[in-house]
Amino acid sequence: MKVLVIEDEQGLRENITSYLNVDGNICESSASLDGAIEKLSLYQYDCVLLDIGLPDGDGFAVLDYLKNESKSEAVLIISARNSLDDKLKGLNIGADDYLTKPFHLAELKARLMAVYRRKVLNSNNKLLFNEISIDIMGRTFFVNDTPVILTRKEYDIMLYFISNKGRIISKSAIAEHLWGDEMDMYDSYDFIYTHIKNLRKKLLDAGCADYLKSIYGMGYKFSA
């Protein structure tokens, strides 16, 4: 899961990103409203953790931006404001959940996963596609109920593809989703080919159909 943490309190921001990264998530962060809008304009995320009390503006503007740009990121508001008016406003203009500070990081992760399951995985912990099954909580991958050992990046690529089956995904989109803004430092996406080649071999060796297709000049597509 790729997450954008919008939080101006440095200690809390770093604690959240470190805690979520342990589970293999890709976390980027912004301490300001302008920085958050810039990141959302450049990249796509699965979920956004949004503090509405930002130093350069009201965080509710992020929800307006996502709506105006027809972006699909799930949003969990994290705020010290606990008034009913703020909660209702956030939920009514597009947030998926609202968590009041202070909170335990374990509850934050549980709320985040619940939002992710509802919005991206149709409320399931297990993603099924023909002979493939993925245990989201256990980060385990199966073909015909037999476990297949994938590297962390192979697992993330597979989850990204199967969540976007039927769509052509460019190499840059794959790279940005899995490596975040670190990709700005690289000149090419050639290493994506190696990851997908290795993943495809593992799937075929496990008896899986050949779902990963290379679309010349455009990227890749997961299709039945």
* Number of domains within the chain: 2
- In this structure, the answer to whether residues 144 and 101 fall within a common structural domain is no
Does 100 share its domain with 157?
no
131 lies in the same domain as 73: no
Q: Which residue segment(s) compose the domain that 77 sits in?
A: 2-124
Residue 185's pLDDT is what? 63
Residues 6 and 87 in one domain: yes
* Claim to verify: residue 99 and residue 193 sit in the same structural domain: no
For residues 91 and 194, state if they share a domain: no
**Which CATH number do you get for residue 30?**
3.40.50.2300
Choose the final residue of a domain: 86, 108, 124: 124
**The last residue of a domain, from among 124, 155, 187:** 124
Whether the Cβ atoms of residue 13 and residue 31 lie closer than 8 Å to each other: yes
Is 96 in contact with 115 (CB distance < 8 Å)? Answer: yes
Closest to 86 measured CA to CA, from 111, 3, 78? 78
Q: Tell me, what's the pLDDT at 64?
A: 95
CA–CA gap between residue 67 and residue 77 (Å, rounded): 15
Same domain, 118 and 149: no
Check whether residue 153 and residue 204 sit in a common domain. Answer: yes
> The tokens 């956030």 sit on which residue?
90
CATH number of the CATH domain containing 187: 1.10.10.10
CB 198 within 8 A of CB 149: no
Domain boundary among 93, 124, 155: 124
- What is the model's pLDDT at position 104? 95
**pTM (two decimals):** 0.74
Would residue 58 be called left, alpha or beta, if left means φ above 0 and alpha means ψ between -120 and 50 degrees? beta
Strands 2-6 and 47-50 turn out to be parallel
- Residue 186 is predicted with a pLDDT of 65
Q: H or E stretch including 177?
A: helix 171-179
Residues of the chain with pLDDT under 70: 120-124, 181-187
Whether 91 and 77 share a structural domain: yes
List, for residues 31-71, the tens digit of each pLDDT value: 999 999 999 998 889 899 999 999 999 999 999 999 999 99
58 and 19 share one domain: yes
Q: Do residues 136 and 163 share a domain?
A: yes
Query: Are residue 147 and residue 112 in the same domain, yes or no?
Result: no
Q: What are φ and ψ of residue 72, in 5° steps?
A: -110, 10
